[in-house]
């Protein structure tokens, strides 16, 4: 495990990561960027972290640096900092390709990762590309890690970071319906969340069974699961999830296209 972790971009995700790292027990020194000083200070006090004087100090003080700004800010935030050989920069900003970051972060090694907010409770699956011991050890403190074989498949896997948000939307709808039919609020919320966890628990417990086959055992003809699925299918609500994945991947590619890659930078320099 890396001895010190820096975070540039202390927003929502950074808060979840810091919480998870501390919950995992004795951990690394954590150094935070000072922009949004109030948030950094509160996090530092709550989770025994330090706020650096500026981003350059984050890079100087940390072995591994997580870049957690919004995508449009990422390359600019990383540029001009004192990166050194042997250091690892982990970019969690969706859609920022390695080719856009490597020229500004060299000679540090650049890795892309997609953790999600349940890192705070040690339950975040994290997609990683490329695999590397420092990034793997860091994210394994926050949940299961999946290294992808190439950047294209990493970007497809990153869409699941968005899917995670859509799941909240679906659960919120069903919770509201349940509450609206007289189930006490807390019971409705717990029941819906536990039901979703039950489904995912079964899927993870039985890797040899296809999801289609598992669904088939639940879909009793004439039963209530079947009736609800008929409505969802009539409304194209099931296939709409695939459409949402395609739209999210498209947005990822748009973000990537906004960042010049190494070849474009070299070309600009030559002009």
Ligand X SMILES: NC(=O)c1ccc[n+]([C@@H]2O[C@H](COP(=O)([O-])OP(=O)(O)OC[C@H]3O[C@@H](n4cnc5c(N)ncnc54)[C@H](OP(=O)(O)O)[C@@H]3O)[C@@H](O)[C@H]2O)c1
Q: Which residues bind ligand X (CB under 6 A)?
A: 8-14, 33, 35-36, 55, 68-71, 73, 77, 92-94, 114, 116-117, 161
Closest distance to ligand X from the beta carbon of 116 (Å): 5
Residue 226 Cβ, how far from ligand X at the closest point, in Å? 35
| CB of 173 closer than 8 Å to CB of 154 | no
Q: How many angstroms separate the CA atoms of 154 and 208, rounded?
A: 24
CB of 196 to ligand X, least distance (A): 18
Residue 82 carries which DSSP code? Answer: -
CB closer to ligand X, 18 vs 77: 77
Nearer residue to ligand X within complex by CB, 219 or 251: 251
Strands, E assignment, the chain: 4-8, 29-32, 50-51, 64-67, 88-91, 109-114, 126-129, 145-147
Nearer to ligand X, 77 or 105 (CB): 77
Q: Which is nearer to ligand X, 152 or 187 (CB)?
A: 152
Closest distance to ligand X from the beta carbon of 19 (Å): 12
Which single residue brings its beta carbon nearest to ligand X?
11
Neighbours of 115 (CB within 10 A): 26
Of 105, 169, 126, 101, the residue nearest 17 (C-alpha):
126
Residue 122 region by backbone torsions, left for phi larger than 0, else alpha for psi between -120 and 50, else beta: left
- Compute the distance between CA of residue 174 and CA of residue 18 in angstroms, rounded to an integer: 31
Least spacing, CB of residue 29 vs ligand X, in Å: 18
Of residues 159 and 192, the one with the C-beta less far from ligand X: 159
CA distance 141 to 13: 15
Question: Measured from the CB atom, is 2 or 33 closer to ligand X?
Answer: 33
Minimal distance, residue 210 CB to ligand X, in Å:
28
d(CA 102, CA 231): 48
């Amino acid at each position: 495990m890396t001895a010190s972790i820096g975070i540039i971009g202390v927003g929502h995700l950074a808060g979840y990561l810091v919480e998870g790292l501390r919950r995992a027990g004795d951990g690394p020194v954590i150094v935070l960027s000072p922009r949004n000083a109030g948030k950094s200070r509160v996090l530092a006090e709550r989770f025994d972290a330090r706020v650096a004087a500026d981003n350059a100090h984050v890079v100087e003080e940390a072995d591994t640096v997580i870049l957690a700004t919004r995508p449009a800010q990422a390359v600019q935030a990383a540029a001009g900092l004192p990166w050194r050989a042997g250091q690892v920069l982990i970019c969690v900003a969706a859609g920022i390709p390695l080719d856009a970051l490597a020229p500004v972060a060299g000679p540090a090694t650049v890795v892309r990762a997609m953790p999600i907010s349940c890192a705070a409770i040690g339950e975040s699956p994290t997609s990683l590309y490329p695999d590397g011991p420092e990034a793997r050890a860091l994210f394994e403190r926050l949940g299961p890690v999946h290294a992808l074989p190439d950047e294209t498949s990493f970007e497809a896997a990153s869409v699941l970071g968005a899917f995670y948000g859509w799941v909240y939307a679906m659960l919120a709808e069903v919770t509201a319906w349940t509450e609206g039919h007289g189930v006490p609020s807390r019971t409705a919320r717990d029941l819906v969340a536990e039901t979703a966890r039950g489904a995912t628990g079964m899927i993870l417990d039985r890797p040899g069974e296809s999801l289609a086959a598992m669904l088939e055992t639940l879909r009793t003809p004439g039963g209530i699961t079947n009736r609800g699925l008929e409505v969802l299918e009539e409304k194209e609500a099931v296939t709409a999830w695939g459409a949402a994945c395609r739209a999210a991947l498209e947005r990822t590619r748009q973000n990537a296209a906004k960042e010049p890659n190494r070849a474009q930078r070299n070309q600009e320099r030559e002009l």
